[in-house]
Amino acid sequence: MKAFRGEILCVAEDPAVAGAEAIHHFEDGLLVVEDGLVVFCGHHDEKFADVPTEKLDGLIVPGFVDAHVHYPQIERIASHGEQLMQWLERHIFPAEKAFADRAHADSVAAFFLDELLRHGTTSALVFATVHAGSVDALFEAALHRDMRIVSGKVLMDLGPEGLSDTVASGRADTEALIARWRGRGRLGYAVTPRFVPTSSSEQLSDAGALVAAHPDVLMHTHLSENLGEIAFVGERFPDAADYLDVYDRFGLVGPRSVFAHCVHMSDRALGRMAEAGSGIAFCPTSNMFLGSGLFDLAQADRHGVAIGIGTDIGAGTSLSVLHTLGEAYRTCQLRGSSLDPFRALHLATAGGARVMGIADRVGALRPGQEADFIVLDERSTPLLARRCAGASLHDRLFALQVLGDDRAISATYLRGRRAYERERR
Ligand SMILES: [Zn+2]
């Protein structure tokens, strides 16, 4: 057993629903960990006086959950010029083809996961590529680091030359990966059709069958990101009610489904998502970078759809969830609503965990949960330090979201073990 003493903040429930009681703040807090699990999280308590205690200087919060990110695209971040479909053709598909080479996949996976830890992200729902080896590379690297990572081989039988599978190979590779990785470490599998434009009806139907056959897997895809993409889907499925309805026809809309983006949504589609228990990954930096549009959080809230935060690298512009929350705030401002910083922290931790179906394991530092947490340093830059000096918790947290990035992560812990520590200044 060991303990960590410092200022602790957790937002286990959505404050927009549960109110201020969702916010748990302990100025002189204590987090007690045994065998990687939280035993106690609360005000410092003398009953743990005999437990070896590490004093942490900073704000302790649960590790960030990135609900949508593409590891094979990390080297194509900041690629100039186009919107979604052209950007994929010009920058992304060529980069993903390189993952046929396992050594390349191993190298990028290791870099990507180390970068996640450096940015305070401890759990993520990750796109790989069409190649089964890209998933093996990521899972091996995640197992080695003891990270909670969910991923899957991308299904795209209508993909470009050199980056497509077939209905049969997609199914066989997916089944083999699920069998190979089930129950290992903290890994999870997601059946991952890229999006409707790159899969045949047969493959989408097969994906639905795979999800139905494996109650422990997620379904992870993209939905209604870009107007050109939506028009393309509408032409292919003219009798579908909307884009979501296409996924629905193939059994891909359910409680284990996570849809990235959802920028242009009808009330019908959001109502259906809420009814099905599906989740949305809100990816503000990506949506602005590709000019896709502004996600309407208030509209999704009216329907009660579960929301997580995605960095969506490589269309996203930062692996920092703190920075992404600042962009989420700006998106909401442009939509005429205001994102509360405590709620933002919830979406980036327990909210994302709920979307990924891992809220019983991580996201809130509840007793019995895995002790994945980070230490935020509000003195990481002179301006942040000046803004936070003497400020309220609300204002400090908001300043971290607007001004903070990887520099504000002073340490990352996985199951109570330090996995990253920023060099001391
Ligand atoms: Zn994406």
Residue pLDDT, tens place only, 188-247: 999 999 999 999 999 999 999 999 999 999 999 999 999 999 999 999 999 999 999 999
Nearest to 292 by CA among 229, 208, 216, 203: 229
Report the separation in Å between the CA atom of 260 and the middle of ligand 1, taken as the mean of its atom positions: 6
Report the separation in Å between the CA atom of 122 and the middle of ligand 1, taken as the mean of its atom positions: 19
Residue 101: C-alpha distances to residues 91, 142, 176, 404 (Å):
18, 19, 19, 36
Residue 42: C-alpha distances to residues 30, 122, 141, 346 (Å):
6, 22, 33, 18
Residue pLDDT, tens place only, 312-350: 999 999 999 999 999 999 999 999 999 999 999 999 999
Sequence-ordered list of residues with C-beta below 8 angstroms from that of 240, at least 6 positions apart, any chain: 233, 234, 246, 249
CB atoms under 10 Å from CB of 236, counted, come to 12
Report the separation in Å between the CA atom of 347 and the middle of ligand 1, taken as the mean of its atom positions: 18
Report the separation in Å between the CA atom of 171 and the middle of ligand 1, taken as the mean of its atom positions: 21
Report the separation in Å between the CA atom of 379 and the middle of ligand 1, taken as the mean of its atom positions: 33
Largest pairwise CA distance in the chain: 68
Where do the H-state alpha helices sit in 214-320? 227-236, 243-249, 267-276, 284-289, 297-303
| pLDDT of res. 82 | 84
Quickly state the pLDDT bin for 384 (edges 50, 70, 90): very high
Residue pLDDT, tens place only, 90-141: 999 999 999 999 999 999 999 999 999 999 999 999 999 999 999 999 999 9
Planar angle of CA 68, 87, 320, nearest 5 degrees: 35
On the question of pLDDT at 425 being above 70, the answer is: no
Report the separation in Å between the CA atom of 33 and the middle of ligand 1, taken as the mean of its atom positions: 35
Report the separation in Å between the CA atom of 24 and the middle of ligand 1, taken as the mean of its atom positions: 32
CB atoms under 10 Å from CB of 369, counted, come to 23
Residue 94: C-alpha distances to residues 73, 97, 129, 226 (Å):
10, 5, 11, 21
For residue 33, list its beta bridge partners.
2, 38
| pLDDT of res. 135 | 98
Contact 376, 59 (CB under 8 A): yes
Kindly report the three-state secondary structure assignment for every residue of 311-369: CCCCCCCCCCHHHHHHHHHHHHHHCCCCCCHHHHHHHHHHHHHHHCCCCCCCCCCCCCC
**Distance between CA atoms of residues 314 and 3, nearest Å:** 37
Contact 291, 315 (CB under 8 A): no
Residue pLDDT, tens place only, 51-98: 999 999 999 999 999 999 999 999 999 999 889 999 999 999 999 999
Task: Tell me the pTM.
Answer: 0.98
Task: Output the six-digit token pair for 189.
Answer: 């599998």
Q: What does the chain come to in residues?
A: 425
**Distance between CA atoms of residues 59 and 408, nearest Å:** 10
Report the separation in Å between the CA atom of 312 and the middle of ligand 1, taken as the mean of its atom positions: 5
Sequence-distant contacts of 396-399: CB under 8 A, at least 24 apart: 396/59, 397/9, 397/59, 397/341, 397/342, 397/345, 398/329, 398/341
**Distance between CA atoms of residues 155 and 158, nearest Å:** 9
Nearest to 139 by CA among 101, 100, 181, 111: 181
Torsion of CA 173, 178, 184, 186, to 10 degrees: 110
On the question of pLDDT at 270 being above 80, the answer is: yes
